[in-house]
Structure 1
């Protein structure tokens, strides 16, 4: 028995030594021989991905990348095979219409949980083009106008519910974060599944919506786990069963609601009416969406068209309350443009210059997707920002770092909507505004961009027309101190409101 124990200890010691030796040699290769060895970055990050993954798991990746760019400049090697850029031309070089040979990083995006063929988010270029052609009409200008009454009805309900909420609280305090979420989820739930989620009417989250938020952390963690294949199965086994069950709840709900909507024949102008109508055209009758594509796309639309829009509105509300002069100017513009809230339409909201400028500044300071969307350089390499990058390397625009960099924006940490207006060009005309692409860029940019802008304009305008935002409550003064796990891990944003008119 003693001899066996000695053998086990020797094997363990040898295994440990070999693992250490491999890690050392790999690190030395990454530092001295790797094709990216000439790109700047901290030694620890260039040697091993552990530094990058540690920042990611801690939820501080956006701040870490910002600090690296402040130290090393516009391009940083933040992991052995990863480059981060904060210059506008990278959008064109790696994400644009001429960069179709670039592919989405498979480790970052992972497999489609609904199976093959995957939905539009993870589809290859050929499948993506086909799916986008079928789905795009549901997000076009014509569909947006037809869907406007649905959107307006929910925003009107938001105003009613906010009024009741502040009447129930002696100080008129509400968590505006939740109310924005209730509204955007109700709108997209109606458009995606053809039935309401009833978040606004019940003033609370459903278990399914809560599961979406909880699943974000698991999605974030899985992107790190996938990078370590030899630990993949072990680490997945360590994930609590409760978290796995929440993910299953998200998937099961989406499948059930999509199938129920597809079984209903209706001309109601929701997403599936437009998709099915376009799929039945003579040109597309043999190119329709597969079942797994429908399930995956419905879930993607729900997440991409809800939490993200509410995130921008919440962040923008915070910045407006911290800048009362900007809030006052925006209120004056909105209240001066409409005699009645019924007059607020898609067409009439678009010309409000200061409202649009505030939204752009909100997207810059608090982008809903603040991390990079990595693309893999095609075999043979490519020129990016005038630099030759070898094939197989992952590149990205670090959005939070890019939008907060003084190389792109003057006074980057300040809330200055005027930088987006002609009046601000004397002082802010040198800003690199073309770096701002919160809805991504090129053939894979966000389909729901126009819908998101319409929702943001309408929700913010309706709230500011009916209510005075009196103040930011003391408990939310440090609200911006947040982690990021795919999505911002936002706490309550407590705001004092005063109802002023019907």
Structure 2
């Protein structure tokens, strides 16, 4: 190249670097601390992948003011990390109208099943759908689904005990995953797939494919979200190709339900809600066409969301809880005594008894403190907002994140934070937990709507498993290794020794 060309290239590089420096002066010009960043990328190389994100959040939290708040950059776009409970309460709860949305995910016309999910809705669409979905997870509705979950838990325990007779070590992470899969198939799709006994069932194979990530699939998702118009033209989609299988299955099940008997499952509850909106004779109670957003396609989307939100998350929570109880035999024995006392009182394992079990609840809460499935939370600022107690105003579009994993282990809020101490969450001790330092299901109105269902699943399984067997860590698996992946975290392996208690 000629000297003039090299000079031009040099000028372009210099101007780009100067522009990047200017854009990355946003927080420093406002007196807000910021962790070290790279030109052009900002902190994206640290925040894009979850396996780096949790360590980065911890560094920002303890070393750069993140325990109050600190500034971050995604490319050149300013973001905010907030770790102060009072600020979080003000921003995400009291001023929820300013932070009601999440970071937008740009999708193509081929991703309608995904885009119609509750978690991706914003504004009025989110409010309408949330108001419809929330009653579906009331305690009364959970009682209706209790028998279905109860049966799947029985199947799981029977399968584990059968394995224990021939195998010295049981892969509980795998078995819990099969249980949650069978439960979702039953409660969201009305399907008995029996994945515990049949690893080759079509439903389980489709779910495994749905959650299988490769470098190519991740790159495709990134491309679609960055350039949805180009992706549309190229007939690309963000969601897995197997999404079509679940859509067809759900639509077929909906058609069958309208002609047949009910099961009392999640799908029945949504169809019941839909029919109430359509059939009521009171015009004052009948939703307008614009308000009645629960059409068949929206129901399908919530069924698929059930898989995304409930499959790996509940299996991980169960895996961690079983591992921690295996590691702490005193807590395990105390929990077993509580369960036996409740059975003696209620005559059997009942919804009321399981939900009343205080130490069981405390064990699960402490598990989710140590291993929150969501490492961080994100909300997007929707209009100019002054950070309380400061003169700093953040503009619309600013993503505000909360470092859940780090706050759950901050010794400022938790004595001996690395220790498993369920007593923290007993009724007499809960007042000692500062508000919004414990957030396994999110914060404020956008917290997880299905948390009651997830807790019911977890409590039923642990109750039945501890009644049937004593749990011990398998040799070589005395410690759990956390795998931080694409959008979530889970244990790499949980392998236990199960000793049946029938002969005791």
Residues 90 and 384 of structure 1 are in contact (CA less than 8 Å); yes or no, is this contact kept in structure 2?
yes
Which of 408, 418, 423 is 1:418 aligned to?
423
Residues 369 and 438 of structure 1 are in contact (CA less than 8 Å); yes or no, is this contact kept in structure 2?
yes
Q: CA deviation at 1:223?
A: 7.5
The alpha-carbon distance between structure 1 residues 284 and 438, as it changes in their structure 2 partners (threshold 3 A), is same
Partner Cα distance (1:131, 1:101) in 2: 19
Q: Indicate the larger mover: 453-462 or 210-219.
A: 210-219
Superimposed CA distance per residue, residues 137-168 of structure 1 (whole angstroms, 9 cap, x where no aligned partner)? 32222211111110111101111111111112
| 2:337 is the counterpart of 1:332 | yes
Structure 1: give runs of 5+ residues left out of the alignment: 1-5
Partner Cα distance (1:310, 1:298) in 2: 18
Aligned twin of 2:283: none
Aligned twin of 1:180: 176
* Residues 211-290 of structure 1 aligned to structure 2 (within 5 Å): 211-215=209-213, 247-249=240-242, 251-264=243-256, 265=258, 266-281=261-276, 282=280, 283-284=286-287, 286=289, 287-290=292-295
Aligned twin of 1:27: 20
The alpha-carbon distance between structure 1 residues 18 and 417, as it changes in their structure 2 partners (threshold 3 A), is farther
Aligned twin of 2:83: 86
* Residues 439-454 of structure 1 aligned to structure 2 (within 5 Å): 439-454=441-456
Aligned twin of 1:196: 192
The alpha-carbon distance between structure 1 residues 344 and 473, as it changes in their structure 2 partners (threshold 3 A), is same
Residues 158 and 179 of structure 1 are in contact (CA less than 8 Å); yes or no, is this contact kept in structure 2?
yes
Q: CA deviation at 1:272?
A: 2.4
Please give the secondary structure, in 1, of the residue aligned with 2:118.
coil
| 2:385 is the counterpart of 1:381 | yes
Partner Cα distance (2:388, 2:192) in 1: 45
Q: CA deviation at 1:487?
A: 1.8
Please give the secondary structure, in 1, of the residue aligned with 2:197.
helix
Partner Cα distance (2:197, 2:389) in 1: 50
Structure 2: give runs of 5+ residues left out of the alignment: 281-285
Superimposed CA distance per residue, residues 175-200 of structure 1 (whole angstroms, 9 cap, x where no aligned partner)? 11111111112112211111123212
Q: Indicate the larger mover: 184-193 or 195-204.
A: 195-204
Aligned twin of 1:3: none
Superimposed CA distance per residue, residues 245-274 of structure 1 (whole angstroms, 9 cap, x where no aligned partner)? 98111x112211111111112322122222
The alpha-carbon distance between structure 1 residues 327 and 35, as it changes in their structure 2 partners (threshold 3 A), is same
Partner Cα distance (1:94, 1:216) in 2: 37
| 2:482 is the counterpart of 1:477 | no
Partner Cα distance (1:410, 1:319) in 2: 18
The alpha-carbon distance between structure 1 residues 65 and 216, as it changes in their structure 2 partners (threshold 3 A), is farther
The alpha-carbon distance between structure 1 residues 310 and 489, as it changes in their structure 2 partners (threshold 3 A), is closer
Q: CA deviation at 1:135?
A: 2.5
Superimposed CA distance per residue, residues 36-72 of structure 1 (whole angstroms, 9 cap, x where no aligned partner)? 7422122326x65453334533722112211221212
Q: Alpha carbon RMSD of aligned pairs, Å?
A: 3.4
Superimposed CA distance per residue, residues 281-315 of structure 1 (whole angstroms, 9 cap, x where no aligned partner)? 23237314245423322211222122211111111
The alpha-carbon distance between structure 1 residues 60 and 306, as it changes in their structure 2 partners (threshold 3 A), is same
Residues 80 and 401 of structure 2 are in contact (CA less than 8 Å); yes or no, is this contact kept in structure 1?
yes
Aligned twin of 2:70: 76
Which of 311, 314, 327 is 1:309 aligned to?
314
* Residues 335-414 of structure 1 aligned to structure 2 (within 5 Å): 335-339=340-344, 343-372=348-377, 374-384=378-388, 388-392=392-396, 393-414=398-419
- TM-score, length of structure 1 as denominator length: 0.84
Aligned twin of 2:36: 43
The alpha-carbon distance between structure 1 residues 490 and 481, as it changes in their structure 2 partners (threshold 3 A), is closer
Which of 111, 115, 131 is 2:112 aligned to?
115
Superimposed CA distance per residue, residues 338-385 of structure 1 (whole angstroms, 9 cap, x where no aligned partner)? 25997111100122211111111111110111122x222222223357
Please give the secondary structure, in 2, of the residue aligned with 1:497.
strand
The alpha-carbon distance between structure 1 residues 498 and 183, as it changes in their structure 2 partners (threshold 3 A), is same
| 2:473 is the counterpart of 1:499 | no
Please give the secondary structure, in 1, of the residue aligned with 2:269.
helix
- TM-score, length of structure 2 as denominator length: 0.84
Residues 481 and 493 of structure 2 are in contact (CA less than 8 Å); yes or no, is this contact kept in structure 1?
no
How many residue pairs align between the two structures? 477
